[in-house]
Amino acid sequence: MAKKLVIKVTAGSDAPERCSQAFTVAAVAVASGVEVSLWLTGESSWFALPGRAAEFELPHAAPLPDLIESILAAGRITLCTQCAARREITEKDVIEGVRIAGAQVFVQEALADETQALVY
């Protein structure tokens, strides 16, 4: 089994099931002791902002704020630099613990030894 899991989520409220799956897999992996790096890109970028995850609803799915909290407790959440810029989101706007980084960092993480990358 990979020791690290890098997950890129491109979906937000526009594709709620795919979005929820990404956050759920990340939270379960963290709870299982796997090192997790979750990347917010595209429409999921909005969930880097305080309060935005609370607006997300999907029947029979864990609440997104709870999943984010569990991921941040032992993993990392990164907002894509370009996605943030397109939405005029800055470091001072995001939830505490969320970093903003670009494609170079994503590629570095995804290609590291003993790493599995998933894209939702």
pLDDT, tens only, 70-113 = 999 999 999 999 999 999 999 999 999 999 999 999 999 999 99
CA 19 to CA 91: how far, in whole Å?
A: 23
Does residue 1 register a pLDDT over 90?
A: no
CA angle 47, 4, 21 (to 5 degrees): 40
Q: Which amino acid belongs to residue 43?
A: E
Domains and their CATH numbers in the chain: 4-119 (3.40.1260.10)
